């Protein structure tokens, strides 16, 4: 099995220290008014906001660790994070989801007592992202910042033919933003598809759904932007595959706006996906 | 034909004055940060905001007339409004939808040159409202203020049996809020149904859809609130019909929150709905 979690430290390094409990939470957030997940000086971020809410509740300065960083304006339906609480604090783990007073653009969906070996980032087996695309004619202020509007929705079959190229283990250098610092650009993609569903506001929402072990910095937005560009020209899937295989960043086309991107779900279940029996790249 | 537009003045009273053009617009707005449609001192309202945007564009103080007032926090997907512009102003009617700079919670969906006899309120033949209901477990900050969350979604068939009672001409006194000043509480309801559609955020959205010639103050919210209360007890449709027929305000149950309510569409087409050949109440 491959399960290539690049840059994952030895479990001893992130194991819970004695005298502490580890609490995990699933969090949704509307990214429009956040400068992303990670704490940055002078910016409103989800991590810093949650740490402040936890301080208000417990009186303690706690470090909240997320499964993945999301960029400015990117949303989450199922970000998972954890923090370590001294055992003296007897607050039941499940109470955090109810008792934590968060701003209206955050929802704590659940909270639970995690194992000592659990780590929201390093135990994560897969991350699912979704990207919402809407026809400009159906798009109003109700969805502003929650989807990307395009002049004409691309053909779902064509988009699916691009999405299919991403499955498997690939070197995603072509879709790595300049800021990506990871040594290896190889990632495992378990599922990749485009489907259409109805919007309660009228017209279809086209959804790109991708699950993989991990993603490079801005990889999903770069892939979506390139797919949308190619679809406008009705380009065949081979052209998308050629860009991916080139491993050449200059071959990628647009980077899609953060508006339509959601960190949808994080899976900690090693049996959930069809893991690769043999890592194709020898890892 | 009934077409009971209560309190409609003679057409001469709202006809366009010579030397003016009448411009109509279809407008969507996210009601969360508005104190409703109608201008009120010291409050942010849609009407006042549009008048200010028009002043910024034309330099003129214009009066914007809407098809219907929406309450604080209520949304619109298709509010229709008009304003009268001196003929000296040569801005093409269609340009307003593109040139008007509006805040991000308003979308001008279209604008057109209206007939001299057109009046967004008095020419309206029907108004459609929709009300969005979500299961609390599917509900996150992404939809906060855009739908009402309930503990368990009611049965669609049961909700539809209530909705069916509303069709036809009825005296809606039972669902008129204290603030309703209209002389007659009779209104014609052309369509009334509940359906379920998928939300791109997961789970179903239950939608109550109602079209009628006009509505009393808070009538839709009072009807929805009562329907939701009855559905919790699995009450038969006869019970809802009895409340309606009682014409007794004290028989209505809850008033649903404004969050889930949308002024969905305004119809100016006299042939669109199955108008009543004979007004059942003799009007």
Tell me what the mean pLDDT of segment B37-46 comes to: 94
Which one of A140, A141, A197 has the shortest CB-CB distance to B198? A197
The strand ranges marked E within A138-183 are: 148-150, 168-171
Active site residue B259: no
Tell me what the mean pLDDT of segment A67-84 comes to: 96
pLDDT in tens, A155-170: 999 999 999 999 999 9
CA distance B268 to B60: 28
Contact yes or no for B141 and A106 at CB 8 A: yes
Instruction: Name beta bridge partners: A194.
Output: A208
Check residue B257 and give its pLDDT.
Answer: 96
Chain A interface, Cβ < 8 Å to B: 28-30, 75, 77, 104-107, 109, 132, 140-142, 144-146, 197-202, 205, 207
- Tell me what the pLDDT averaged over chain A comes to: 92
Contact yes or no for A146 and B142 at CB 8 A: yes
Q: How many CB pairs under 8 A join A and B?
A: 57
For chain B, the C-alpha Rg in angstroms (whole number) is 20
Tell me what the mean pLDDT of segment B177-184 comes to: 84
Q: Is the pLDDT of residue A274 over 90?
A: no
CA distance B257 to B273: 29
Fold designation for A126-282: Alpha-Beta Plaits (3.30.70)
Check residue B6 and give its pLDDT.
Answer: 52
Q: To probe the interface with A, which of B104, B140, B205, B260 has the most A CB atoms within 10 Å? A: B140
CA distance A116 to A16: 5
pLDDT in tens, B190-241: 999 999 999 999 999 999 999 999 999 999 999 999 999 999 999 999 999 9
Which one of B142, B144, B200 has the shortest CB-CB distance to A199? B200
CA distance B166 to B223: 9
Q: How many residues does chain A have?
A: 283
Chain B residues with CB under 8 Å of A197 CB are: 198, 200
| Percentage of chain A exceeding pLDDT 70 | 94
Which ipTM score applies to this complex? 0.89
- Tell me what the pLDDT averaged over chain B comes to: 92
Which one of A28, A107, A198 has the shortest CB-CB distance to B198? A198
CA distance A97 to A91: 11
pLDDT in tens, A102-144: 999 999 999 999 999 999 999 999 999 999 999 999 999 999 9
Which one of A29, A144, A207 has the shortest CB-CB distance to B141? A29
Nearest by Cα to A215 from A241, A250, A184: A184
Residue A283: which pLDDT band, with cuts at 50, 70 and 90? very low
Check residue A270 and give its pLDDT.
Answer: 80
The strand ranges marked E within chain A are: 20-29, 65-66, 75-86, 106-114, 126-135, 148-150, 168-171, 186-198, 204-212, 261-267
Residues 6+ positions from A246 with CB-CB distance below 8 Å: A174
Contact yes or no for A197 and B201 at CB 8 A: no
Chain B residues with CB under 8 Å of A144 CB are: 30, 104-105
Q: Is the pLDDT of residue A1 over 50?
A: no
Tell me what the mean pLDDT of segment B181-193 comes to: 92
> Two tokens at B2?
């009934």
Phi-psi region of B73 (alpha: psi -120 to 50; beta: other; left: phi over 0): left
CB A267 within 8 A of CB A128: yes
Tell me what the mean pLDDT of segment B235-261 comes to: 95
Chain B residues with CB under 8 Å of A261 CB are: none
Indicate which residues of A carry an active-site annotation. 71
Contact yes or no for A205 and B202 at CB 8 A: no
Domain extents in chain A: 14-113, 126-282
For chain B, what is the largest distance between any 2 Cα atoms, rounded to a whole number of angstroms?
Answer: 62
How far does A118 lie from chain B, in Å, by closest CA?
25
Catalytic residue among B5, B71, B180, B233: B71
Burial class (CB in 10 A: 0-12, 13-18, 19+), A283: middle
Check residue B281 and give its pLDDT.
Answer: 46
Topology alike, domains A14-113 and A126-282: yes
Q: To probe the interface with B, which of A200, A204, A206, A265 has the most B CB atoms within 10 Å? A: A200
Q: Look up the CATH architecture of domain A14-113.
A: 2-Layer Sandwich (3.30)
Check residue A146 and give its pLDDT.
Answer: 97
Instruction: Name beta bridge partners: B193.
Output: B209
pLDDT in tens, B86-135: 999 989 999 999 999 999 999 999 999 999 999 999 999 999 999 999 99
Chain B interface, Cβ < 8 Å to A: 28-30, 75, 77, 104-107, 109, 132, 140-142, 144-146, 197-202, 205, 207
Q: Which pTM value belongs to this model?
A: 0.91
Residue B280: which pLDDT band, with cuts at 50, 70 and 90? very low
The residue of chain A nearest to residue B103, with distances taken between CA atoms, is: A141
Contact yes or no for A198 and B202 at CB 8 A: no
């Amino acid at each position: 099995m491959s399960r290539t979690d690049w840059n994952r430290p030895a479990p001893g390094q992130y194991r819970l220290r004695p005298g502490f409990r580890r609490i995990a939470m699933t969090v949704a957030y509307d990214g429009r008014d956040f400068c992303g997940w990670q704490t940055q000086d002078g910016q409103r971020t989800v991590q810093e906001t949650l740490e402040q809410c936890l301080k208000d509740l417990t009186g303690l300065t706690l470090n909240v660790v997320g499964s993945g960083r999301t960029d400015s304006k990117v949303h989450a339906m199922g970000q998972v994070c954890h923090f370590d609480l001294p055992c003296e604090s007897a607050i039941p783990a499940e109470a955090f989801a109810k008792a934590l007073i968060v701003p209206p653009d955050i929802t704590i969906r659940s909270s639970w007592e995690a194992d000592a070996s659990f780590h929201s980032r390093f135990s994560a087996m897969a991350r699912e992202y979704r990207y919402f695309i809407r026809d400009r004619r159906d798009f109003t202020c109700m969805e502003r910042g929650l989807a990307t509007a395009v002049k004409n929705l691309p053909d779902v079959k064509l988009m699916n033919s691009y999405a299919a190229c991403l499955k498997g283990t690939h070197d995603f250098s072509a879709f790595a933003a300049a800021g990506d610092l990871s040594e290896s650009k190889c990632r495992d993609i378990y599922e990749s598809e485009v489907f259409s569903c109805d919007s309660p506001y009228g017209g279809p929402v086209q959804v790109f759904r991708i699950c993989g072990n991990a993603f490079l910095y801005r990889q999903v937005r770069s892939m979506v932007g390139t797919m949308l560009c190619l679809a406008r020209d009705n380009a065949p899937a081979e052209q998308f595959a050629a860009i991916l295989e080139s491993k050449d960043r200059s071959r990628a086309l647009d980077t899609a706006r953060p508006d339509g991107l959601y960190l949808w779900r994080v899976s900690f279940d090693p049996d959930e996906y069809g893991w690769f029996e043999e890592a194709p790249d020898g890892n």
